[in-house]
Amino acid sequence: GQNIDQPTEMTATEGAIVQINCTYQTSGFNGLFWYQQHAGEAPTFLSYNVLDGLEEKGRFSSFLSRSKGYSYLLLKELQMKDSASYLCAVKGAGSYQLTFGKGTKLSVIP
């Protein structure tokens, strides 16, 4: 089975940097995905990591340590539109199934 843990809520200031952590315990691992979801909308793919290290994509970066079962999503130069829920999701080995964490609701304040 999979167990994924991430903070429920975070607040950060416009223009700042925020790091959203995700820890996981899985019986198999074939990648970790980050999705952004605005209220009432579909999840939007942000990034994935399958090997250890940092993946950078514009203002968003994601890091993975497989030995520690740990990932984080880093958002730089925060904008008001970044206020959303951020979902960490783990794919099991050879599996169709994505197991989602409960999501972190990020509020960006002026």
Binding site for other proteins (CB under 8 A): 30-31, 33, 35, 40-45, 48, 50, 87, 91, 94-98, 100-103
Task: Using the minimum distance from each CB to other proteins, give the nearer residue, 4 or 108.
Answer: 4
Concatenating the DSSP letter of every residue in 22-44 gives EEEEESS-S-EEEEEE-TTS--E
Give the helix, strand, coil percentages of the chain, each rounded to 5: 5, 60, 40
Q: Rounded to the nearest whole angstrom, what is the least distance from the CB of residue 58 to other proteins in the complex?
A: 16
In 3-state terms, what secondary structure has residue 52?
Answer: coil
Task: Using the minimum distance from each CB to other proteins, give the nearer residue, 29 or 72.
Answer: 29
Q: Rounded to the nearest whole angstrom, what is the least distance from the CB of residue 22 to other proteins in the complex?
A: 12
Q: Rounded to the nearest whole angstrom, what is the least distance from the CB of residue 59 to other proteins in the complex?
A: 19
Tokens of 90: 């783990």
